[in-house]
Amino acid sequence: MRKIKLVLQYDGTDFAGFQIQPDQPTIQGALERSLRAVVGKFDHFGAAARTDAGVHALGQVIAFTAENPIPLHNLIRAMNEHLPQAINILDAEEVPQSFRARQSAIGKLYTYRIWNRETGAPYITRYAWHVRQPWLNLTWMRLGASYLKGRHDFAAFRSAGSVVQNTVRNITDFDLQRVDDTIEARIQGNGFLYHMVRNIMGALVEVGGGRRTAEEMEEVLASRDRTRLGPPAPPEGLWLTRVFYPEPDADPN
């Protein structure tokens, strides 16, 4: 029995999220149909993150077990032939049976993009949050983000519906850059709560627009109160960019 890890990218616009849902197009559904067509029987299918409807990925990871001896380069080519154009397998490797796409991860990197101008652009706003006005102040947003770096209890930034009991997470890097009309935030951490990145970005846009002070980010964080925040940023700007795993020879202790 082989354990195979796949790295893939997708445009989540036309899917009802990653996880299979009845009578809805999903990323997992498309992947499982492709796997059945290529390897036949497979088991222990798992993903690093179950992204929401409309969320995209540049470096999602899945893993599964199968007995089929197909070479990995042939597996990639054959699966891509059976996948919709919006999903593409980038890489494949055999991993130990103990590998789990989600549980074995030691960190994730998300990117969030904002298109900050009055007029939209179909080729951009499909993949970014269109914030028309005001012109967002990047300095204020960076200051607000600085309060969130490090190890904190992020209960205030978790949306309802999460069943996770431990809400402490460690944000190891948080960088915001503007290039012309696009603001790109890159946030890396050891893990993220339900809607955590989108809730953070929704609050930072309020900071950048002058509707909330940067210092309030620290106050909201300390409150652990979700009602202190407004609605989350929309899904179209969010990208699962990379999932990190220990180096093969790393000492787990």
**Residue 129 · residue 56 · CB < 8 Å:** no
The answer to whether residue 27 sits within a structural domain is yes
The dihedral over CA atoms of 123, 22, 45, 242, expressed in degrees to the nearest 10, equals 20
Map residue 203 onto helix, strand or coil: helix
pLDDT tier at 251, thresholds 50, 70, 90: low
What pLDDT is attached to residue 15? 97
Q: Which amino acid is at 146?
A: S
Whether the predicted pLDDT of 250 surpasses 60: no
The answer to whether residue 195 sits within a structural domain is yes
Q: What is the CATH number of the domain that holds 85?
A: 3.30.70.580
What pLDDT is attached to residue 249? 62
What pLDDT is attached to residue 134? 77
**Lowest mean pLDDT segment, chosen from 17-21, 76-80, 122-126, 176-180:** 122-126
**Lowest mean pLDDT segment, chosen from 15-24, 49-58, 126-135, 207-216:** 126-135
Indicate the DSSP class of residue 128: S
pLDDT tier at 85, thresholds 50, 70, 90: very high
Cβ burial, residue 134 (10 Å; 0-12/13-18/19+): exposed
What pLDDT is attached to residue 127? 96
**Same domain, residue pair 173 and 219:** yes
Last residue of a domain, one of 94, 121, 142: 94
Query: Alpha-carbon distance 112 to 78, whole Å?
Result: 31
CB atoms within 10 A of CB 109: 18
Whether the link from the prior residue into 69 is cis, omega within 30° of 0, is no
**Residues with Cβ within 8 Å of residue 166, at least 6 apart in sequence:** none
Helix pair 215-223, 138-146: axis angle to 10 deg? 30
The answer to whether residue 69 sits within a structural domain is yes
**Same domain, residue pair 160 and 237:** yes
**Same domain, residue pair 89 and 151:** no
Whether the predicted pLDDT of 252 surpasses 80: no
**Same domain, residue pair 141 and 207:** yes
What pLDDT is attached to residue 160? 79
Q: What is the pLDDT of residues 34-84, one digit of tens each?
A: 999 999 999 999 999 999 999 999 999 999 999 999 999 999 999 999 999
Q: What is the pLDDT of residues 148-182, one digit of tens each?
A: 999 999 999 998 777 788 999 999 999 999 999 99
Please indicate whether residue 173 is annotated as part of the active site: no
Whether the predicted pLDDT of 23 surpasses 60: yes
**Same domain, residue pair 148 and 239:** yes
**Same domain, residue pair 116 and 208:** yes
Q: What is the CATH number of the domain that holds 151?
A: 3.30.70.660
**Same domain, residue pair 132 and 190:** yes
The H-or-E segment that residue 144 falls in is: helix 138-146
The answer to whether residue 14 sits within a structural domain is yes
**Same domain, residue pair 134 and 166:** yes
Structural domains of the chain, count: 2
Query: Alpha-carbon distance 169 to 193, whole Å?
Result: 8
Give the bridge partners for 243, in sequence order. 108
**Same domain, residue pair 58 and 112:** no
Q: What is the pLDDT of residues 208-227, one digit of tens each?
A: 999 999 999 999 999 999 99
**Residues with Cβ within 8 Å of residue 22, at least 6 apart in sequence:** none
What pLDDT is attached to residue 247? 86
pLDDT tier at 94, thresholds 50, 70, 90: very high
**Residue 49 · residue 240 · CB < 8 Å:** yes
**Same domain, residue pair 86 and 138:** no
Query: Alpha-carbon distance 151 to 10, whole Å?
Result: 30
Last residue of a domain, one of 94, 124, 143: 94
Active-site residue, from 23, 52, 225, 249: 52
**Same domain, residue pair 71 and 126:** no
Query: What range does the domain containing 73 cover?
Result: 2-94
Last residue of a domain, one of 94, 119, 154: 94
**Same domain, residue pair 90 and 114:** no
**Residue 92 · residue 8 · CB < 8 Å:** no
The answer to whether residue 223 sits within a structural domain is yes
